[in-house]
Structure 1
Amino acid sequence: MADASNFIWYELMTGDPAGAARFYGAVVGWTIADTGEQTAGGVDYRMIGRSDGGNAGGVLALNAEMIAGGARPIWIGYLHVADVDAAVEAIKADGGAVQMPAMDIPVGRIAMVTDPQGAPFYVMDPIPPEGGGESDVFSVTEAQRVRWNELATSDPEAAIAFYKKHFGWGQEGEMDMSPLGAYRFLQRGEVMIGAVMPLMEGYPVPVWNFYIGVDDIDRARDAVTANGGTITSEPMEIPGGEYAMNAIDPQGAPVGFVGPRK
């Protein structure tokens, strides 16, 4: 792949969109609509609004049929590809699996897949918005956006090779997490977008975990617990002087937060 693919959207799948709206509104400052737009397939979908007027992603309401089919509360990312059908076939050929076949939606063409180790994500060829411009749902610095993309996987070496091949990412640098192993950094061009780590306690299956930017990590920590969430790892200092923590939202979706200590 000539050009490195970017995360262009993030989606929260949850059985309680109203509860998620209260939680993320208090912790992050987002606004999520009280009612969703019914898509062509009858799915309740709600946009996540930032304070600056932009969107941070979307909320998909899990219905009874989805839950019966094994769907669970989770954050999932969308990776940009030029050709969804070709990307799906290439991913399948390298050991990945298709969770939702390619389909057209009003904003582009998408498919849900897993990497060879089982971590789910979407591939998407979006219809460019009026006026053009790239998606801004990911930022390495800004609050109310995803700031870090972390893959916990059963085979870091194979996963890195997979994402380098199919999405053009780089992998340079690592941090020792003894005795767990290496925390290996991922780059899209010159931008460090996340990392790959071995599976550890609390991650029963390979999964992408996303760290959302907050204005104050201690305020956010208090808001997590006050609004029904559970802290799974307390704020810890990361390179650069900010702090990161992990939590589970009230509906059961794992999520990370990152920001300064004020």
Structure 2
Amino acid sequence: MTDGNRHPFVWYELLTSDPEAAEAFYTGLLGWTLRDAGMKEMRYSLVSVGDGAPIAGIMGGAACVTPPAQEGAQSSVGQQPPPGWVGYVGTAQVDASAQQLVQAGGAVLFGPQDIPGVGRFAMMRDPQGAVFALFHGLPGDRPPALGTEPLPGHVAWHELHAVDGVSAFDFYAAQFGWTKDAAIDMGPMGIYQLFAIDGVSRGGMMTKMPEAPQPYWLFYFSVPDIQAAAERVKATGGRLLLGPQQVPGGSWILNAMDPQGALFGLTAPA
């Protein structure tokens, strides 16, 4: 699904403990349309914006987190991973890319494996613990168009919160050819290093906050109005974690958690 050089993010997937509730939350927030993928072994919904091509998937299977019965009690988590979004990076050869990632200190969590009629994928973990996936579509699939203007409802920004932002950038740059863009000094929070794909900024990497339990990728969906979106998050059971606030360049962002516990971001133009 990609030409082997660009290595863009080509797919996004939400693993959640309550897919029906998650579908209702995100369709109300982002205006998505959904259709069933027709998988017999699991519920898997394909996400589109309007009549456009699918851009993401929502599936069940994440651990249900039981709220503490009283103050000071600990939550109980099942054997499945907690709810969360995963980004799929395109590659011409999933198996070869997975092997190279392992040699560079990463790990294979699942696969490589074929998805009949769709392509081949592998679930990976980078050397610092952040999870992502590799993907290659069927022969003849065309790589996604990488526009410069984010479309409403689409992922507009990719942000890695790493144990060490500098070495994390070195890892991804070596594996996928991503290049440095601007670097923003955030004072005590360190450097926010933007990365580019084909010369266009697609995201940033930073050293995570000490309170974050583990490294993670955070995906920002584009909305036309950040304040209205923030109100919708709160009104539909989500929780605001940061913002809304303006960032260098004038855009607005917020970080939030959906009702099942998956982290996500929203961004809007100045």
Instruction: Tell me if TM exceeds 0.5.
Output: yes
Q: Is the 8 A contact 1:137 1:146 kept in 2?
A: no
Q: Residues 1-262 of structure 1: matches in 2 within 5 Å?
A: 3-33=5-35, 37-39=38-40, 42-62=41-61, 68-105=78-115, 106-128=117-139, 132-136=141-145, 140-201=149-210, 203-260=212-269
Contact 2:181–2:193 (8 Å) recurs in 1: yes
How does the TM-score come out when normalised to structure 2? 0.88
Is residue 63–residue 80 contact of structure 2 (8 Å, CA) maintained in 1? no
Amino acid at match of 1:31: T
- Residue-by-residue CA offset, 1:109-145 (whole Å, 9 max, x unaligned): 100011100111110111156xx54325986421110
Distance 1:63 1:5, change over 3 A: closer
Unaligned runs of 5+ in 1: none
Secondary structure of the 1:89 match is: helix
Instruction: Mark the CA change 1:16 to 1:28 in structure 2 (over 3 Å): closer, same or farther.
Output: same
RMSD, aligned CA: 2.2
Name the aligned partner's letter for residue 99 of structure 1: L
128 and 218 in structure 1: CA distance in 2 versus 1, 3 angstrom threshold? farther
Deviates more, 1:22-31 or 1:54-63: 54-63
So what's the TM-score if we normalise by structure 1? 0.90
User: Contact 2:256/2:264 (CA < 8 Å) preserved in 1?
Assistant: yes
Rounded Cα–Cα distance in structure 1 between residues aligned with 2:142 and 2:20: 31
Q: Is the 8 A contact 2:120 2:135 kept in 1?
A: yes
In the TM superposition, residue 72 of structure 1 has moved relative to its aligned partner by: 1.1
> Aligned equivalents of 2:63 and 2:80: distance in 1?
10
**Cα distance change of structure 1 residues 156 and 99 upon mapping to structure 2, 3 Å threshold:** same
SS at match of 1:179: helix
Q: Which moved more, 1:84-93 or 1:235-244?
A: 235-244
Name the count of aligned residue pairs.
255
Displacement over 4 Å in runs of 4+: 136-140
Q: Give the conservation status (yes or no) of the 8 Å contact 2:62–2:82.
A: no
CA distance in 2, matches of 1:207, 1:257: 16
Letter in 2 for 1:116: P
In 2, Cα distance between the equivalents of 1:139 and 1:11? 22
Pairwise CA distance, 1:54: 2.7
Unaligned runs of 5+ in 2: 65-76
Percent identical residues: 36
Q: Do the aligned residues in 1 keep the contact of 2:31 with 2:49 (CA within 8 Å)?
A: yes
2:87 and 2:133 in contact (8 A); partners too: yes
Residue number in structure 1 paired with 2:69? none
In 2, the alpha carbon distance for the partners of 1:85 and 1:182 equals 33
Deviations 1:11-39 (A, max 9, x none): 01111111111111121111234x66325
1:21 counterpart letter in structure 2 = E
Distance 2:136 2:100 in 1: 15
Which one-letter code corresponds to 1:227 in the other structure? Answer: T
What's the CA shift for 1:190? 1.1
